[in-house]
Structures are given as structure tokens and as C-alpha cells.
Structure 1
Amino acid sequence: MDATVLDTLFKTIASRKGADPSQSYTAKLFSKGRGKIAQKVGEEGVECVIAALSEGNEELVGESADLFYHLMVLWAEMGVKPEDVWAELAKREGISGIVEKASRPKE
């Protein structure tokens, strides 16, 4: 499998913007706004941690899928496209994580 499944998922998610919230969970998330969507990303991230520490691989796989889904809803809400993220990852390819992190502007 490659990123194609993620690109397809993103297209489906983006198509739900403005759809009837009573007919689509994704449309319902969009109707609740960026804050709620971001909260869901955080919740799913925590559930991934819990699955990794106290459950098993099957649970981690399921929670990871939930995390990807909610993250993509957030991307769509904010106008970020998967290819933007793929390009950022490609820029970092072959660069040490320590070097990459050190190159980021200090806050």
C-alpha cells in the first residue's frame, strides 16, 4: 500500500464539507468547527498512546486509522492538502531528525 489510500480518503473527507451533518459524521465534525476537530485529533493521539502502552497491535492499528482520519479532517478544515504534507516529509528525507529539529526557528 502507498499513500494513494490516504489521498482517496482525503478527497472523500473534503467532499463532505458543507454536507448535511445529520447524514455524515465528517460533515458533523466540519459543522462543529476547527476547535472540535483539533480536540478529536488530540483524543485519537492519546488513544494511540494508550493502545501502544496497554493494549495490542490490533488496537493500535485501529486507533492509528482513527488518528489519520481525524487529522485529515483537520487538514481539510484548514486548507492543508496531503501533497503539502508529503512534500514536507520529502524535504526531510535523508536528514537526521536531530539536525532537522535543530534547523527549525526557535520560538
Structure 2
Amino acid sequence: MVRYPVHVPGSSYRGRDKRKLRQISHDNAVSTRLENHINRLLSRQTEPLQVYEYRQLAMDTGIPEDRVRSLCQGFGGDQNGFTAMRADLDPSEAGGLPDKNANDDVGQ
């Protein structure tokens, strides 16, 4: 479960290779653009739980879907997207979230 605000991980490089520095700078700009877009969406979220699909995020930002997927999996996304809880909710108030203290009685 993702909560506002999210941080999309970037890369770091301490070397002097100018080509690698340019690539890392570009990659970090993409991460920042995606992070800003997701945080805007999450800050406006009205539903208690909302699913965000990588396909839609890719279309919104112009970032390739496979890149969106790899960046979002760094903060808890799965294969097709991630679920976010509205920022002002406590997990117990989200409605539809399983109670972490409930016992699974299936098969008993």
C-alpha cells in the first residue's frame, strides 16, 4: 500500500565519466518527473483506496511503461500498478483493508 507522499528512487554516481553523469542526470530527471506526477495524483485522491496503473501513468508522463514499472516497484508497486491510500486516512479507516489482527479461518 502506497501513501502520500511517495519518493521515486533515483541513482547516484560519483565518478567522472561525463557520459555516465549525463545518463544518471537524465534518469534522475525522469524519476523526479514521475514522482511529482504521482504525488499530484495522490494529493488530489478522494477515494479511500485508489489503484494507479503503470499504463496510465506512462501515458500521462510520456515515460515508457516499462520504466514507470521499474521505478514504481521501488516503493511498493506490483506488476501492473499500485494501490494508494488517501493521505488523510489511518489504515484502519480505509474500508476494505483487512484487519491485521483478524485470523484467517479458511480451511478450519
Q: Give yes or no for TM over 0.5.
A: no
Indicate the structure with greater helix content.
1
- Specify the structure having the higher radius of gyration (Cα): 2
TM-score by length of 1: 0.29
